[in-house]
Structure 1
């Protein structure tokens, strides 16, 4: 079994030490480096090529949003989980747009952090349930509760793929979508893969952003 390689980027040494102790207790995770600011984090990500970067959002020299944008924009395979002290951090929207595959609060349970790293390393995405409502509200553009028509920009998707995208936007897991649509979980995974491939999206979070940006779903009607 190949270990998941993690880079820690946080300007507080005690936070980095705590994360290292948590992660190195796991047999399938290894911490390959630490950086104390965003600029050093970008450089270390380029040099070390970690599978997952744990990125603090508020740092000197270069904040976590811009550091994430540079890492993702470089085409590196590294995936980024952004961490913040506040679950209502106003940068959640910007971080996910920058390409982050996860967004968690620092005071969450250790097992949630470990699970998030494993999930993101496998190519999926995670967002703390505590910030999901705020995230969806930030994407809301319309107060009208009438279900919107399918925007022309999503014409590449089949009717079933649109159903899956709407479900993703409500925060449902593959298993929950499968039950709701009365199909197998494998079928849902295939539909999700097709959505990501057709619009060149990194993960489920980016798919949700697409759904809200195009007006396919609106929180007033879908939550």
Structure 2
């Protein structure tokens, strides 16, 4: 096997780690080194073994999220490429991931060939991006975040009962994992609800979502 691509995966969901490993198992030149459940654990493993080419990084994780971990890893090990691999494609995450030094941004439902091509492209100096992410990135460059001060008027916003439940939990400062347990949902379902909430409220962060929801008497 010539020039193997040495890879690590960071995700708090062991099922998704195994799903990613399975996608990469089709390619003989990809060598899976190890996995970590959060950013802090990844940093500890890197201290033991930094012989990696690329890290596939989740964003929403307990203890240390993927964006904070990316910032830290890039400062310590700038030679290692990092692709964010997430269910989220909201503007705030894209913007913060790029600022932190991420080399690519793919969605977790990416097919094996596209994932492999993204890894190859990133290792060749490119930037792997799901098409929808690339479009959002262009829009972000053209239209930086607008201040909420520009939208002071009360708007008619319709959220589902479940989305309001999630928002109320979010306003208490709870993590996605705890919210999932409290509402008997999977963490990925909670993330999808929050993605829909962000879209409906036209916001880019938890704080903005909570402020706008309170302003519009949603919670």
Query: Who is 2:196 aligned against?
Result: none
The 3-state SS of whatever aligns with 2:41 is helix
Q: How does 1:36-47 map to 2 (within 5 A)?
A: 36-47=37-48
Change (3 A) 1:47 1:76: farther
Query: Who is 1:105 aligned against?
Result: 107
| TM-score between the two structures when normalised by the length of structure 2 | 0.61
The 3-state SS of whatever aligns with 1:82 is strand
Q: How does 1:40-59 map to 2 (within 5 A)?
A: 40-49=41-50, 50-59=52-61
* 1:45–1:53 CA contact under 8 A, matched in 2: no
* 2:91–2:136 CA contact under 8 A, matched in 1: no
Within the candidate set 90, 98, 106, 1:88 is matched to: 90
Query: Who is 1:126 aligned against?
Result: 128
* 1:6–1:30 CA contact under 8 A, matched in 2: yes
| TM-score between the two structures when normalised by the length of structure 1 | 0.60
Q: CA deviation at 1:136?
A: 1.8
Deviations 1:128-178 (A, max 9, x none): 111122212222258xxxxxxxxxxxxxxxxxxxxxxxxxxxxxxxxxxxx
Unaligned runs of 5+ in 2: 145-219
Query: Who is 2:73 aligned against?
Result: 71
Q: CA deviation at 1:37?
A: 0.7
Query: Who is 1:139 aligned against?
Result: 141
User: Which consecutive segments of 4 or more residues in structure 1 shift more than 3 A?
Assistant: none
Q: CA deviation at 1:46?
A: 3.8
Of 122-131 and 25-34, more deviation after overlay is shown by 122-131
* 1:82–1:104 CA contact under 8 A, matched in 2: yes
Q: How does 1:142-157 map to 2 (within 5 A)?
A: none
**What is the distance in 2 between the residues matched to 1:46 and 1:132?**
33
Task: Calculate the aligned-residue CA RMSD, in Å.
Answer: 1.6
Query: Who is 1:5 aligned against?
Result: 6
The 3-state SS of whatever aligns with 1:90 is helix
Deviations 1:26-62 (A, max 9, x none): 1110100000111111222343221000000110011
**What is the distance in 1 between the residues matched to 2:9 and 2:69?**
13
The 3-state SS of whatever aligns with 1:104 is strand
